[in-house]
Structure formats: C-alpha cells, structure tokens
Chains A and B, each alone.
Chain A
C-alpha cells in the first residue's frame, strides 16, 4: 500500500517545494522555466518596480576605470558619456516641459535603486535637503551596478514626463524611501530620465 502511494507523495512533496528524485522531477522542470521572473506577476501585484518588466538590460557594458578628475575607481555602464553640460536637478524639476524629449546630463547622489532587477535608480542634487529626486530608468540600456546607493553618479539620457500609478508611486515612497507616501492621493506626474550611459563613483 505504502509503495503504491509513494510516487504520489514524492510528486506532492516536489510541488510544495521539496527536492524530488530525478525520475519524478521530469514533469515539473518545464514549470521552472515558466516561472522565469521577467514577467513576475507577484512583483506587479505587490506594486513592485514597474520598469522591471520586459527587462532587456544586461551587464554586458559594465567596465571599470579611474575617474580622471578624482582618481577614484568608477564603474561605467551603457554608452560612454558624450560630455554634455550638467543640468541641475532642481532646474529640471522646476521646468520639466522645457527639457521633455531632450538628452541631458545629470550629476548627483544615488539615493535609491531597484535591488532586485537593477532596472532603475534615483538620484538627488548634492547638498539638497528637500527630498527632490529624479528616477533614472536604465532598462534597456544597462543594469544598475549592485550596491550603488550612496555613490556619486554622472548620467546622460532623455527626459520623459510620465504618469506613475498611485500604487507604483506608493511602492517607491514606502519601499525605497523616495518621496512622501502620505502625499500620494492618486496618479503622480513624474520626470524620469531614460538613461543611455552612466558613471558611478
């Protein structure tokens, strides 16, 4: 009797997350592929980072170099910076329509990033105490190097004005501590930069 139901027990155990012997795990393997996180519904339902879906970015472009100005080691990702003149973040946030669709360069401190999929980071003006930030979407150009919060960054990209859903805005405010969660009453208009390349140091 025991022998009769042993295979069923093994299959059930595998379904619940235990490791099954190779002969029984065959049927479950395609499900592992189907669980590929690129379209993770759980992350979306948890109002996760909206830019993570359909990730095309890779670490291919990641390279190290010495920053000529400070001599410190920096991590370069995406396309090389073209040397545009720096735009101040308060200036960008103050006149977003002026910059919409334009390629600009921002410099500042990284105050948040997507730890899971590394599809975006947020930055603020050095010395700023207001909590004003710009979210930089790096997917599909590159992945944010792990552990970038607290680093200085120089980034170039195209300015985009988007409407963030309330749940996404709340996720960024509560989960990533950027923005005031109590101020979010509905969809939020945001200035984002769609990055082409960046230097983290």
Chain B
C-alpha cells in the first residue's frame, strides 16, 4: 500500500480543518504571551486634567472648613465629599450621581460613572489632578482568549483536545510527506533538529541559569 499519498491527503484536509482554530489559538497565544506588556482583554485610554484643590471646589463651604480641607483633605465630611464629586462630575461632563464613589487610601477618590470600571475618574486630593480612564472590551481577543483558556470548560474541552491531537498529526505527517534531499533526511531534518533543540535549550538554560 502506498501510504504517502494517503498521508498527504489527510495532512491537506486536516490542515484546512485546523486553519480557523490555529488562528484563534495563535492570536490568543501572542496576546497572553505579552500579558506583562498590555491588558489584552480591554483597551484603556487615560486623560489627566487639573481641576483644582478640594477646598477650591467646595464653593459653599465655610472659610474654616475650607482651611481644614486645604490642610488635610482626608478630613472632608461625607457631605463635602458628595459636593466635591458633584463638582468633578459637572466639570468633566459626567452624569450625576456617579454609580459608586470611594477613597483608595487617604489621597485618592475614585468615582465610577459607567458600568464597572468602564468610565472611571481618580481624583488626587493633594494635587487637584484627575486621571480619567475609559476602558473598552477588546471583544475579538477576549473571545479568542475565552476559547484558548477554556474558560467555559464543557464540550470545548474535547474540541480543544481534538485540535491538539490534530496538530500533533500535522506535525508528524508534515515530517514524513516530503522525500529526498528536502525531506527528513535532508534540509527538513536540519530544521527538525533546530525546532526540537529550541525548547530543549530553553529548558536547559532556564534550569541552570541563576
């Protein structure tokens, strides 16, 4: 029996079958490989703006209260905090009242205008600066990651397992399809050796380096 044409047909058909999943896994793989460089699930835009010291934004407060807030902004009463957040919201054109407001430590007030942290303002009470952050889902990469990381489990576990096995088949069959000087006994073999050596070398270096 001539097995090479059969292998070639299988390699071709399975190759086509795997294109979609390979792209999903490869894109997600690159995204999560750089997790320390970016937030791959959501895009973020930041804007900084100077609004003024809390004492200046509390227009109806007494001179005595303004003086106290100027020397120690964390002495603000909940009512003053509410007035301050209202002033911030009006200055930056956000709907009032915010969905949630709280202090992150003694120097920052966080105000949330949208769902979750989609539209968030950090007010730095000592400098009077705000940092405004808008977040949007990167829904394509987010969806790819959900599949790659198997976040839902269920039937996808079996599909992902089958895909991994098919990739193994493609790798092995790919080695055997080509004969002659370009095959495993020729330049193909050199590439094969390099490809196998890369992870082994990486593991060895990782193991023996300090």
Which residues of chain A have a CB within 8 Å of any CB of chain B? 11, 17, 22-23, 25-38, 40-43, 45-46, 48, 55, 58-60, 109, 111, 115-117, 124, 126-131, 143, 146-152, 177-178, 180
A67 CA / B174 CA spacing, docked (Å): 56
Chain B residues 164 to 193 lying within 8 A of chain A, measured CB to CB, are 164, 167-168, 170-171, 174, 191-192
A55 nearest in chain B by CB position: B149
| A33 close to B164 (CB less than 8 A) | yes
Does chain A have a CB within 8 A of B26? yes
For A58, list chain B residues within 8 Å (CB): 150-153
Total number of A-B contacts with CB less than 8 angstroms? 136
Q: How far is the CA of A115 from the CA of B3 in the complex (A)?
A: 50
Question: Told that A37-B33, A129-B106 touch, could you supply 9 new A-B pairs with CB distance under 8 A?
Answer: A33-B167, A37-B29, A37-B149, A40-B35, A59-B151, A111-B110, A115-B39, A124-B102, A148-B116
List 8 tightest A-B contacts by C-beta distance, closest first: A147-B116, A131-B105, A150-B112, A37-B32, A46-B36, A26-B174, A149-B117, A129-B103
Q: How many residues of B contact A (CB 8 A)?
A: 58
> Which residues in window 110-154 of B have CB below 8 A to A?
110, 112, 115-118, 120, 135, 137, 142, 146, 148-154
Is B89 close to A, CB under 8 A? no
B195 at the interface (CB under 8 A from A): yes
A12 to nearest B CB, angstroms? 11
Q: A127 to B112: give the CA distance in the assembly, Å.
A: 15
Shortest CB–CB separation between residue B51 and chain A, in angstroms? 19
Q: Is the CB of B102 within 8 A of A109?
A: yes
Please name the residue on chain B nearest to A37 by beta carbon: B32
A76 CB to nearest B CB, Å? 15
Q: Which residues of B in the span 23-63 have a Cβ within 8 Å of any Cβ on A?
A: 25-26, 29-30, 32-36, 39-42
A41→B207 CA distance, assembly (Å) = 13
